[in-house]
Amino acid sequence: MAVTALIISILALIVAGVSAYASVRSSNAARRSADNSAISANAAANADRRAEAEADANRVRWRAQHQRGSAWLLINEGTESAYGVEFSSSLALAGNESPYAKIVRGDAKSFVVMRMDQTTGDTIEITWHMTSDCSDPPRGQIVTIPH
């Protein structure tokens, strides 16, 4: 009888050990699954932020296009209109009537670049707003004027 009780106790101990081992493995798997879910959620959030930033960057995008001689066009190549548009430069600019109240997508404003001996740099800094009342923070872009 004592031997049977001892065997039953040993078997119960083995079953309890196997059960504890399985419980620990299950707990570790659940923790790994939760960690992976958090990593996936962070990756998705980062992808959403990148997509929003890219879309925002393309809402208004500027390009300078050479016409002839010293004449240039500043073109809004974005998907939306820009408001309160101003541009300035260390280059001497003529024909620049900024601030422009509105430059719609696809529209262009002409200006003339006059390079002089004391001129430094070859860029134009453009600032604008996304709202017609210009109550939002100004946006900015620097456009290079090639020689």
Going from N- to C-terminal start, the domains of the chain cover: 1-57, 60-144
- The CATH topology of domain 60-144 is Immunoglobulin-like (2.60.40)
Q: What pTM was estimated for this model as a whole?
A: 0.59
Give, for all 147 residues of the chain, the pLDDT tens digit. Answer: 777 877 888 887 888 888 888 888 888 888 888 878 778 777 776 666 666 655 566 689 999 999 998 888 999 999 999 999 998 887 767 766 778 899 999 999 988 887 776 666 688 899 999 999 999 999 999 998 877
d(CA 121, CA 14): 81
Q: Which residues contact 146 (CB under 8 A, 6 or more apart)?
A: 66, 122
Strand partners of residue 143: 124
